[in-house]
Structure 1
Amino acid sequence: MNGIGLQKKEIEQAIDKVIEGMIGLKPAIKEDTPASIVSMDVWDWSQGVGLFSLFLYYKETKDSEILSYLTDWYDKRLAEGLPKPNVNTMCPLLTLSYLYEETFRPKYLHICMEWAEYAAGRMPRTPEGGIAHTAVDSPNEGELWDDTLYMTVLFLGRMGMLLKRDDYVQESVRQFLVHLKYLTDVKTGLFFHGWTFKEGHRFAEALWGRGNAWYTAGLVDFLDMVEVQSGVKGFLLSSLDRQIGKLAELQADSGMWHTLLNDPSSYEETSATAGFAYGILKAVRRGYVGADCGAVGFRALKAVLDRIDGNGVARGVSYGTRMGRTLDFYKEIPQCPMPYGQSMALLMLVEGSKHLD
C-alpha cells in the first residue's frame, strides 16, 4: 500500500527515539504561557496529548517501563496539586481514566469522576450548549474552538463509557455536532479554527492545520472509545471523508501540509501532518474511508519521518496557537519541539507499522 519503501524495522527504531525525545523535551524558545507547555513536567493540554500517545503505545506493547513512567508522572503531579479545571487542563484526565483500569487506584478514578462531572454540568457553555474554550489565561467566553474536541470531549465520552453514564456519552456526541455545525467550511469540508457567538464570525476564517488534525486524529479514537448511534456515526464519518478528500488535494509535493491548509505561503507544519497521517491510516484500517487514501497517509508519514532528528525530536512543529484574528498571526507562530508533535508522530508511526504487517 505505501509505495515508499518503508521497512518496519525503520519505523520501530523511530518509535523508540520519538519516545525518548518526548520525555526529554525542554523549552527551546521563550514561552508566553503561565506554565510551560513544552516540558513534560507540567499538567496541561500539550503534555496530556503526549501522555495519551504513550498510553496507547503501552497498550500495544505492554512495555512496563512506559506504564511506570505514566504512573510516576501522575503521582508527581497529584502530589504537587492540580490546576483549576478548564478545557486545556482537562486533557491529561483521558489517560488517567485508562490508568485507573490498569492500576485500580481509587484516587485516579475519584479525580476523573470529579472532573467529568464538571465538564458535563458546570463547564462554561456557549449558546446551543457548546463547551466554551476556557483556558488558563482566558475564559474565551462564547467561543467554540476545534481544539476542544480533543482536549475535553474525548475524555467526557470516555468517562461516559467507563461509568456507564449515557448522559455523558450523549453530551460528548452533542459537542461534536455543535462544533461541526459552526466550524465546518461547507465549501471545502475543512474546519475553521473557531467561532464567536459574541461577535458572530469565525475570527480570521483560518483553515488551520493542527486544528483540523484534532478532528482527523481525534475522531478515529473517539469511535474506539464511545458507542455512537449509526446515524450519528455516519454523519461524523462523512465529515471525515470529505475532509480527507480535500486534504489529498492540498498535500504539498513534500508530503506535508501547510499550517494554513489552503495557503502555500504558510510554512509546512509537522504536528498537523503527523496527525493527518495517523487519522487517515487508521481510518483506512478501520474501513471508514477507501483504501486509496492510504497513499496520502503514507506520503505524510514519510515526510514526518524525514523531519525526526537523530535525538528523536520532530522538527517543524508550531508552538501552542491561540485564536488568530488575522491569517498572518498563524504564519508567525514560532516553531519548536513540542509534546504534541512527538505524540502525533508516535501515533502515526505505531499506526503505520500495523499497515506493514
Structure 2
Amino acid sequence: MSAPLQLQVADVQERIDRIVHQLQHLKSDRNEDGIPIGIISMENWEWPQGVALFSLYLYYKESGKPELLDFLTSWFDRHLAAGTVPEKNINTMCPMLTLSFLVEETGREDFRELCLEWLDYAMNELPRTEEGGFQHIVSGRTNEGELWDDTLYMTVLFTARMGVLLGRDDCVQESVRQFLVHLKYLTDPVTGLFFHGWSFADKSYYAGALWGRGNAWYTAGLVDYLDIVDLPLGVKQFLLGSLERQAKTLSALQADSGLWHTLLTDPTTYEETSATAAFAYGILKAVRLGYLPEIYAAVGWKAAQGVMGQIDENGTVQGVSYGTGLGRDLDYYRGIPVCPMPYGQSMTLLMLVECLKHRS
C-alpha cells in the first residue's frame, strides 16, 4: 500500500518537527476561570498533558531523538521536585502510562515507586460502578456511577501496561474487564459507535451523544492497547470486531473535507480535528497491522489529508475542541469552544508518523 501523492511529496518531517516544538511549548491563551484544572499548558499535570507525553514517547521510540527522552524525564522531575503531583483520579492517571515506559528507559526507582503507588490506587481504591467498571472520577467531580469512553485511554492502558511491566496477570485481566464492561454499556447497537457515557445511577446516556473525540479514544487507544498486551484470541477478535463496525460507520459519516463532525451523526456540528487525527491514526495503523481490511485505508488517508490542512505555518493544529465533560443535552457539545490543545498536537503527531510508515 502506498500513500497518496499529496502526502508522498509533502515534507512530512518538517511538519512533525513544528508540531513537536509547539506541543512542548503550548501555553494557555484563554480564560479558564471556573475550571478546577489547567488543561492547556504543558506545564500542568492532567489528561491532555498525559496524551501529549505518550505521543512524544512513541515518537521518541520511532526517532531515537535523545532530546525527547530528556524532555519527558524533565517533565516528571519538575513535578516531583515541586510537589505538584496531583490527587489521583481517572484523568490525572493518564501521564502515568508514559512514566511506566520511562521506568524501563531510565531504570529509576523513584519512577517505579510512583507507578506502583498509582497502580495500587487503580486496582484497589478507584471507585467502581456496577459490574466493576472504573468510575470516571475526575478533578472536581466524582461522577458517581458513571462510565465514560475516555476512561479506556486515560487509565486502562496504564493498568494493562503495568501488568506487563510487573508480570502481573491480574492487572492485564482487569484491563480486559474494563474494555468489555465499557463496550457493553457504551456501544450504540444501531450504529456501532460509542456513547460518551452511561450512568448507572440515572440509567441514562444523558444526551445520548455519539461524540467524535470520545469515539476516537477507542480507535486510537485500541491499536496501542494491542501493542501493550497479548490478549486471548477471543477477546482480541471481539475488540477488533467493534473497531471494524465503528470504522464502517465512520466511513459513511466522513465529511468531504476528510474530517468528522464533533457529534458524529450531526452534520450541523462543527468539524473537529483532534478526533479526526485520532481516527486517521487508529485506522491507518489498524490497516497496516492487518486489524482492518485494506478498504479502510482510503478513509484514513482522506482524514490525514484533512488534518494536514489544519496545521498552520507555526505547527499549531487548529480546529480542536476544548475539554468536554459528559453533557446532558446535545447543545452542550455544539457549544464547546475551539482552541489549540495538547491532544490535538499529539494525535496529529502520531498520525503523521503513521503516514511515514506507510510511505516507506
TMscore range, shorter length: over 0.9
Q: Please, what TM-score do these two structures have when normalized by structure 1? A: 0.99
Q: Which letter does structure 1 place at the counterpart of 2:149?
A: D
State the match for 1:21 in structure 2. Answer: 22
Q: Once the two structures are superposed, what CA deviation does each residue of 1:4-63 show, in whole Å capped at 9, x if it has no partner?
A: 521265211110011011112111321242231000001111100000000000000110
For 1:283, the equivalent position in structure 2 comes to: 286
Task: Give the distance between the partners of 1:271 and 1:21, measured in 2 at CA.
Answer: 15
Please name the residue that 1:165 is paired with: 168
Does 2:71 match 1:69?
A: yes
CA contact (8 A) 1:2 1:295 kept: no
Q: Please, which moves more after superposition, 1-10 or 70-79?
A: 1-10
Mapping 1:167-246, distance limit 5 Å: 167-246=170-249
- Whole-Å Cα distance in 2 between the matches of residues 351 and 2 of structure 1? 11
- What is the DSSP-based 3-state SS (H/G/I as helix, E as strand, rest coil) of the residue aligned with 1:144? strand
Question: Does the 8 Å contact 2:160/2:172 carry over to 1?
Answer: yes
Residue number in structure 1 paired with 2:49: 47
- Say which structure, 1 or 2, has more relative contact order (CA 8 Å, 6+ apart): 1
Q: Distance in 1 between matches of 2:308 and 2:322?
A: 19
Offset at residue 345 of structure 1 (A): 0.3
Partner of 2:94, secondary structure, is coil
Q: 1:113 matched to which residue of 2?
A: 116
Q: With structure 2 as the length reference, what TM-score do the two structures score?
A: 0.98
Work out whether residues 2 and 294 of structure 1, in 8 Å CA contact, stay in contact via their aligned partners in 2: no
Do 1:8 and 1:356's aligned partners in 2 also have CA atoms closer than 8 Å?
Answer: no
2:147 counterpart SS class: strand
Residue 320 (str. 1) matches residue 323 (str. 2): yes
Residues 237 and 8 of structure 1, relative CA distance in 2, 3 Å threshold:
farther
Q: Distance in 1 between matches of 2:275 and 2:5?
A: 20
Q: Is the 8 A contact 1:208 1:261 kept in 2?
A: yes
Rounded to whole Å, the distance in 1 between the matches of 2:6 and 2:306 is 13
User: Aligned ranges for residues 143-154 of structure 1 at < 5 Å?
Assistant: 143-154=146-157
**Contact 1:4–1:298 (Cα < 8 Å) also in 2:** no
Match of 2:58 in 1: 56
CA contact (8 A) 1:158 1:225 kept: yes
SS at match of 1:6: helix
**Which string of whole-angstrom CA distances, capped at 9 and with x for unpartnered residues, describes residues 269-328 of structure 1?**
000000000000000011000111111001111110110001110000000001100001
- Per-residue CA deviation, residues 159-200 of structure 1 (Å, 9 max, x unaligned), is 000000000000001000000000000000000000000000
2:262 corresponds to 1:262: no
* Paired letter, 1:231: G
Name 1:3's counterpart in structure 2.
Answer: 4
Does residue 272 (structure 1) correspond to residue 284 (structure 2)? The answer is no
2:40 to 38, 41, 48: 38
Q: In 2 relative to 1, CA 8–36 (structure 1 residues): closer, same or farther, beyond 3 Å?
A: farther
Give the AA of the match of 1:158. Answer: R
Deviation at 1:120, TM superposition (A): 1.1
Unaligned runs of 5+ in 1: none
The residue aligned with 2:339 is 336
CA contact (8 A) 2:136 2:148 kept: yes
Q: What is the one-letter code of the residue matched to 1:38?
A: I
Given that residues 37 and 139 in structure 2 are in contact (C-alpha distance below 8 angstroms), is that contact kept between their aligned partners in structure 1?
A: no
SS of 2:181's partner is: helix
Please give the alpha-carbon distance, in whole angstroms, between the structure 1 residues aligned to 2:3 and 2:191: 26
Residue by residue over 1:117-140, the C-alpha shift from the partner in whole angstroms, topping out at 9 and shown as x without a partner, is 110121000000000000011000
Cα deviation code 1:61-80 (max 9, x no counterpart): 11011111111111001112
CA distance in structure 1 between the partners assigned to 2:133 and 2:12 by the alignment: 39
Matched residue, 1:83: 86
C-alpha RMSD of matched pairs (Å) = 0.9
Could you tell me which amino acid in structure 1 is paired with residue 327 of structure 2?
A: G
CA contact (8 A) 2:3 2:355 kept: no
